[in-house]
């Protein structure tokens, strides 16, 4: 399978559970014979734009602007807009809270490849809950609605996500 993975950040540039999850999943899928490309927003100038890492490809774009801790990259947007939808079998984006996932949803809406979104939680700690409540009623819901599948790894997150996604 040819997988295009959208992830805001990636391990080891940014340590943490979510970033490691993206790295480990990409590494393991590549080891099983899948062709995995991860699009990410890179913040370090010491990292190459394109890198082969443990069997998968990383393509980094610098952030253009940051809003509430959410890096927005014009380069990543241009890259995703230019992806030929026959190049990949699926786009797998991580968290509806990231601009890159909103872009993947837009790509799907415009006729792009099937989209799977992994929900790592409905809210973020970067803004008050009322901001995310408004987001979930608008762009967040629109993003989820574009997905062909939404994954929740914890049962505790499944019910609240179902209330938003339907």
Domain parsing of the chain, residue ranges: 2-165
Nearest one of 112, 121, 123 to 146, comparing CA atoms: 112
Determine the Cα–Cα distance for residues 142 and 139; give it in Å rounded to an integer: 5
Summarize the confidence of residues 27-43 as an average pLDDT: 94
Q: For 72-129, what is each residue's pLDDT tens digit?
A: 899 999 999 999 989 999 999 988 777 889 999 999 999 889 999 987 766 566 677 8
Averaged pLDDT for residues 11-39? 89
For the chain, give percent helix, strand, coil, nearest 5. Answer: 40, 25, 35
Its pTM stands at 0.85
**Is 79 within 8 Å of 91 (Cβ atoms)?**
no
φ/ψ region of 33 (left if φ > 0, alpha if ψ in -120 to 50, else beta) reads left
Name the class of domain 2-165. alpha beta
In this prediction, residues 46-74 reach a mean pLDDT of 91
Between 8 and 78, the more confident residue is 78
Rounded to the nearest 5 degrees, what angle is found at the Cα of 96, between the Cα atoms of 95 and 100?
85
Q: What's the CA angle centered on 47, arms 42 and 50, to 5 degrees?
A: 80
């Amino acid at each position: 399978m040819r997988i295009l993975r959208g992830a805001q950040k990636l391990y080891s540039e940014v340590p943490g559970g979510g970033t490691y999850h993206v790295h480990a999943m990409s590494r393991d899928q590549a080891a099983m014979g899948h062709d995995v490309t991860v699009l990410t927003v890179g913040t370090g100038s010491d990292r190459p734009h394109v890198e082969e890492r443990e069997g998968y490809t990383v393509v980094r774009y610098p952030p253009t602007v940051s809003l509430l801790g959410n890096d927005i990259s014009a380069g990543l947007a241009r890259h995703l807009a230019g992806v030929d939808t026959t190049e990949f079998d699926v786009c797998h984006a991580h968290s509806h809270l990231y601009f890159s996932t909103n872009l993947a949803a837009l790509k799907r809406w415009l006729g792009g490849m099937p989209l799977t979104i992994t929900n790592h939680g409905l809210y973020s700690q970067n803004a008050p809950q009322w901001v995310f409540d408004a987001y979930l009623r608008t762009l967040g819901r629109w993003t989820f609605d574009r997905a062909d599948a939404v994954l929740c790894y914890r049962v505790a997150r499944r019910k609240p996500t179902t209330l938003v996604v339907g």
